[in-house]
Structure 1
Amino acid sequence: MKHKFFLLYSWFVRTLLFFLPDQPSIMKFRGWMYGLGMNRCGSNFQVSANVVIKGLENFLVGDDCYLAPGVVVNAIQYVELDCQVMIGFNSVLVSGNHSKSNGSYRFGKSRSAPIYIGFGSWVAANSTVVAGASIGSGVVIGANSFVKGNFSDDSVYVSLIPKKLGDS
């Protein structure tokens, strides 16, 4: 029942405030509204208008965090952002994964694990962070990356597409 209430509350906040522009004071107000339903929400949490947060009760945020337009947070397990974390445009944080059953992912059992993003880290645009990811402090995750596993402090991680010599 509690989970359903928080889903409804999150929808209410998004619906009530989506038409307001993404200015710092308004984004801070949105963050404060979401924070009322969270177990932990630091000061100056800024949320853009078209962010979707599901599992509000499992979403933990430190001070001075920012969620850019198009971010989706699906907190089946805990998703924790330490202080001064930025999540870029159209990124997805999902603490659950599908598994395969009888050759198909459609009816495979769901698996979940917490996500942690350390102090001062930046997840750049169009990235996906999945169950069990642990990103250290001061880390940059490059645009269009898929993040699974552990990532060391003060590092830069990017997805590269290899090219053969002579390909244009």
Structure 2
Amino acid sequence: MAMPTCEIVQTTPTIEARAGELALLLPKLKVQQIPTKDDRMRWFRYIPDQKCTDKLEELLLDLRPIIKLAVERCANAAIIVDRSPQPTLERLDFGWAQVPPNFSVFLLSCASNDCKEPVFQTRKDLKASESCVVKWDCGSGVVVPELFYYITEPAGVPYYVIPIPTPQKM
């Protein structure tokens, strides 16, 4: 059975509202470019201030049960609770990002209200013509399995990325 490359994960009205509040804070934050092997790629991480950090912690508490179920269903993996790296706020302006080995990622859209028709796209292989494209409004989540590539459209849609170690297949 082929695994879908992306699927929108239903969140709650509370999570959607918190993601919207977070989107309003992003223009005031500093950003740092994430180093990549491809010099053409433009990938950025937001540096959260205390207010943003507090909002992110609240959001993560709300997301935990949803993420656990989504990763088990979409990535067919069991989560290793104690080894997760810190979640980050990011945006991808140009290029495809790849999920590292032994991880899945849960990405929550923090698209602003003025962002028209945000979409999320994944591919297993950049050379492949098949891809999965889904509408990705603020507060919508998506699980991306290890080694898959992803891109946001339009470029620069901010998202909250929660890396999840998943080396144990169920």
TM-score w.r.t. length of structure 2: 0.29
TM-score w.r.t. length of structure 1: 0.29
Larger radius of gyration: 1
Q: Which has the higher helix share?
A: 2
